[in-house]
Structure 1
Amino acid sequence: MLCLFVTPLAAADGNRVPLAERPPGAAVASAHSLATDAGLRILREGGNAFDAAIAVSATLSVVEPISSGIGGGGFFLLHDASTGRDVFVDARETAPAAATPERYLTADGEFDRDRAENGPWAAGIPGLPAAFVHLAERYGKLPLAQSLAPAIHAAREGFPAYGRMTRGYERRRAVMERYPGTREVFLANGRPLRDGDLFRQPDLARTLERLAAQGFDGFYRGDTARLLIEGVRAEGGEWTADELAAYRVAEREPIRFGYRGWEIVTAPPPSSGGIALAQMLQILAPFELADLEPATRAHLTIESMRRAFRDRTFYLGDPDFVEIPQRLLTSRDYAAGLRATIHPARATPSDLLSGEPTPLEDEETTHFSIIDADGNRVAGTQTVNLLYGSGLIPPGTGVLLNNEMDDFALKPGTPNAFGVMGFDANAPAPGKRMLSSMTPSFMVRPDRVAVLGTPGGSRIITMVLLGILGYDAGLGAQEVAALPRFHHQWMPDVVSAERGMFDAATAASLRAMGHELNLPPDEVEGGRGSSHVWGNLQTVLWNRADNTLEGGTDPRNEVGEARVELRATTPAR
């Protein structure tokens, strides 16, 4: 474990600048202004960052059904300022016992992608409601009902539908309208939602009220559990009451490593993000990236991505079910060995990296970042996987179920919806958690503390990497949230990039090195076409030298908001 001692900064005259012990107030950044409002409201009412995390997470579950919800799961990285402890709360979904690999094959043995992505067989047992109960009981100051109140209000009274919701619905409409419970929610007025329509979810409000009143049993047992099971079985699925009641949140030790004077605290398995970040950043650490030509800087970063994603494919899964060589994969020596395989001016074809394990002992998903006036902090990433998850809402619940089963290696070596592959380490088993790319993270240096994360499927990991590199280069929170992005994931062997990431000269240099580029076709001649923007990064930054707070919300998202409130508007201790 890397320990950093907090010391004052040296001023120009040789004196020491004292570093603030506590932030001047609170900062919340989330993907929707109503969720940011909910978090700040709970802080004003006397809650801490962990109570605010419940409020933000639950409200996002209501107002961002395209990205997350209580029918899905998430990861919460916590820092308790009173003890100095960091903890990773794993609320990832789990596999139903009936969901064996054979269930996802057609009669002729081919992979059944529709079953893996849509409807009852696509859904794992949800974890997010259990996380709310866990956070309230272990870390919060307020009753769960108080922290859930903003989300219940938003579900009952409604909110205006917005562009990302309505566009996403059109893309998933054919699937969502298969199911009576989903039609009842999304076609309540007889037609699909349009921008500005008031979207009310009374069944979801009642489900949240049962959770608020009864805690764990209000979702995983009783009326809600019965309705969930009936709805899944009506569509041919096989959930049981016992496996719902058996769901448990897991607390895990975060991954920690050093990068150029920062301590990085990030997500352990079943997230693949923390190990990948440790590999990529430790590969890059000896390079003075700011001094390199843009093409060389991008080349080295791409090669670090390639190697990390290759290891992700073979080694990572649920640590409760498989042995993961985590100590080795995150070591500086292992990163040095990977670095030595990088040619400084030539791309390494992915098929030259071993396709077998070596012997070793976008708009989906959402993120929020919080720092409170006591210095507690939360990085929370949550998801239902693809747009609107499985598309299935069991009638009477308002709960849109996830389609996280596709994140397992349902057929070994077959890419999932994000194009990433897996093998035995990530095969499904009863109660097992599927591998994830969600990577909520902290960056800690004596003078700066940052909280960051983003949605984006397999691109989450590389977007967090680029955010960390941005903060290390001295950027502010909003600048980090707006950074252009690029990505490589070993297979397929192609570099994808947002509009504006590479100019023509840089793209030409990368191609000359042997990289295949997938760029917006109207930007660089020869690009095959890619999504012009990705992700929805939300971040907050505490500058301890001048004791200021910053929030950054991704400009790619029309409804996100980052807000800072100074201590005068937060409760005194």
Structure 2
Amino acid sequence: MSLSPRWRVVLLSLLLTAGPAFAADRPAQAPAVASKVQKPGHAAIASANFLATNAGLEVLAKGGNAFDAAVAVASTLSVVEPESSGLGGGFMAVLRRASDGREVFIDAREVAPAAVDPKDYLNPDGSPNRDAALVGPLSAGIPGEPAGLAWLSEHYGKLPLATSLAPAIRTARDGFEPDSRLRHAIAERADDLRRWPASAAKYLVGGKAPAEGTLWRDPDQARTLQILARQGHEGFYQGEVAKKLVSAVRAAGGNWTEADLAGYRVKERAPISIDYRGYRVVTAPPPSSGGVAIAEILNILRGVEMDKLDHAQRVHYVIEAMRRAFRDHNDYLGDPDFVKMPLDMLLSPFYADGLRQSILPDQATPSSMLPTSGAHDPGPHTTHFSIIDKDGNMIAVTSTVNYTLGSTFVAAGTGVLLNDEMDDFALVPGKPNVYGLLGSKANAPVGGKRMLSSMSPSLVLGRDRTAVIGSPGGSTIITQVLEGILAFIDGKDASAIVAQKRFHHQFLPDRVDVEEGVFDAATTRELERMGYSLHPRSPWGFMNVVTWDHRSNALDAASDPRRPSGLGKVQ
């Protein structure tokens, strides 16, 4: 598609002058009303695996709260869903404590080891070395999940950490039957798993993925979880477990030290909060890029009379808002402890007004036209769960080891499968990572720095209804959660939110990824007429949502029907 000279002049003029002047006379919106102080009297959990959901419900039945249940769910997922998350990875969470309304973002993201050297991720010709970035110990950041579980238990839970970890320990010790997703993930990564003796011993049976019906035990991870249960944070980051982790990593060519592990700390940060159509969205701040992008998109859409547009026009404005938010994602965002970011600008409604004015009403904006700073398909690697307990505590947790089965490297004697999160840094600025996202110097690797993430755990708080929402899916996490938030605000229930068809645009590549059936024939024709390139792809994501209707005091929980092993359950 090409723009006429007149439109090129208009567009560039709008982009170069975008700013507060566009909205100087706009009246301020009334703030959204947060959830009423109320107790549902029962609980709901939605997670990616029924064993994990049941572990959370078991801990709630023992007198735990949503935060104890989160420890149980996450640790059990480490055992039964290692293709997506685990002790060797990290998580981000947004929680709301009912007793005082405290809202906080828990940052248990992985960090780069002190000895990180960008040259280790380059081929001799200077191109990115994808193997070093994605496979083996050089691809692994220092894990944050064990510290985050201990932090949640100590600062927000009611039960001892050992009680909350008990279901995971039991499952790892006594065994479980791997589901089809895990068996397929092992088969997919079998060649990489064979490169590491401890990985092959843990995941392969006779050199192959386990067959359906296999009872699979994980005694090494059970022992590591037991040490964490007894000793808390120090049980993983110091002493026996830490020594085994470092020894295994260094023997295989990695650069971790015991000081890297001993120095790891969980960070508490203020979440991002934005008002939209009578709701308050509480979401993840950097080092997640998701919350900033979601807030920027909602700010753009807030000035569009969406209910007066036909379906194709509404989709057009959503895609253009996605495009602009991902452009800013690539240029500005990184670890807030290392990088000064223009968040006041990015989150400003006035900045959004300028971006909105640059959207042509009946034409797609080529990404090449926007001032700026061939991707792999984003997959379901990462996991999310949502919880509301009987007292109204709520937590949204997104946890990851990055790509399928992370680095495929298991540290011998620990049962811990390490992440490959170093790929989430801009290892080579301007070159895409495995999810096709570009990065700048703001996300360059530095020892002790947290890599940028798309994880977007979110709460949507309204006068009459509340939702806890999130999803895996690489760069599509941001657009999935955005579309889920919009669907919830439009009145859809939990099952409809997780099942709805999805579309995605991330600035580059300049295309719209679409699930089959997301648009009808008329909408498809109109979008193509506007200049959009629609790219069909297989279903993506694994959203897990809990909703609370304050009018009826009813909870609802649903897991994405795209994956058969998830379970949303009300207790």
TM range (shorter): over 0.9
CA contact (8 A) 2:34 2:279 kept: no
CA contact (8 A) 2:303 2:353 kept: no
**Partner Cα separation in structure 1 for residue 207 and residue 356 of structure 2:** 58
Are 1:251 and 2:268 counterparts?
Answer: yes
Q: Give SS of 1:196's match.
A: coil
Are 1:563 and 2:566 counterparts?
Answer: no
**Partner Cα separation in structure 2 for residue 558 and residue 195 of structure 1:** 15
Matching of residues 72-221 of structure 1 within 5 Å: 72-221=89-238
1:552 positional shift = 1.4
Query: Tell me, which stretches of 5 or more residues in structure 2 are unaligned?
Result: 1-28, 374-378
Q: Give SS of 1:199's match.
A: coil
Corresponding residue number in structure 2 for 1:475: 492
Corresponding residue number in structure 2 for 1:16: none
Are 1:491 and 2:508 counterparts?
Answer: yes
1:176 positional shift = 1.3
Q: Give SS of 2:189's match.
A: helix
Q: TM-score, normalised by structure 2?
A: 0.92
CA contact (8 A) 1:290 1:473 kept: no
AA aligned to 2:488 is: Y
1:502 positional shift = 1.9
**Partner Cα separation in structure 2 for residue 294 and residue 390 of structure 1:** 42
Assess, with a 3 A threshold, how the Cα gap between structure 1 residues 176 and 190 changes in structure 2: closer, same or farther: closer
Corresponding residue number in structure 1 for 2:66: 49
1:286 positional shift = 2.9
Query: Tell me, which stretches of 5 or more residues in structure 1 are unaligned?
Result: 8-18, 357-361, 520-529, 566-573
- Which of 504, 522, 534 is residue 517 of structure 1 equivalent to? 534
1:4 positional shift = 4.4
**Partner Cα separation in structure 1 for residue 562 and residue 168 of structure 2:** 24
- Which of 540, 551, 557 is residue 551 of structure 1 equivalent to? 557
Corresponding residue number in structure 1 for 2:539: 533
Corresponding residue number in structure 1 for 2:24: none
Assess, with a 3 A threshold, how the Cα gap between structure 1 residues 2 and 151 changes in structure 2: closer, same or farther: farther
- Which of 272, 275, 280 is residue 292 of structure 2 equivalent to? 275
CA contact (8 A) 2:33 2:278 kept: no
AA aligned to 2:43 is: A
Q: Give SS of 1:94's match.
A: coil
1:6 positional shift = 6.0
1:284 positional shift = 0.9
CA contact (8 A) 2:63 2:159 kept: yes
- Could you list the per-position Cα deviations for residues 242-288 of structure 1 after superposition, in whole angstroms to 9, with x for gaps in the alignment? 01100000000000010000000000000001110111111112334
Corresponding residue number in structure 2 for 1:359: none
| Number of corresponding residues | 538
1:24 positional shift = 2.9
Matching of residues 336-415 of structure 1 within 5 Å: 336-356=353-373, 362-415=379-432
CA contact (8 A) 1:76 1:440 kept: yes
Corresponding residue number in structure 1 for 2:50: 33
Q: Give SS of 1:535's match.
A: coil
AA aligned to 2:246 is: I
**Partner Cα separation in structure 2 for residue 172 and residue 34 of structure 1:** 24
- Higher mean C-alpha displacement, 409-418 vs 229-238: 229-238
Corresponding residue number in structure 1 for 2:376: none
Quick one: percent identity of the two aligned structures?
53
- Could you list the per-position Cα deviations for residues 388-445 of structure 1 after superposition, in whole angstroms to 9, with x for gaps in the alignment? 0000001111111000000000000000000000010000000000000000000001
Q: Give SS of 1:518's match.
A: strand
**Partner Cα separation in structure 2 for residue 505 and residue 47 of structure 1:** 51
The two structures, once aligned, show a CA RMSD in angstroms of: 1.4
1:2 positional shift = 8.5
CA contact (8 A) 1:272 1:312 kept: yes
**Partner Cα separation in structure 1 for residue 216 and residue 303 of structure 2:** 51
**Partner Cα separation in structure 2 for residue 557 and residue 508 of structure 1:** 30
1:509 positional shift = 1.4
1:505 positional shift = 2.5
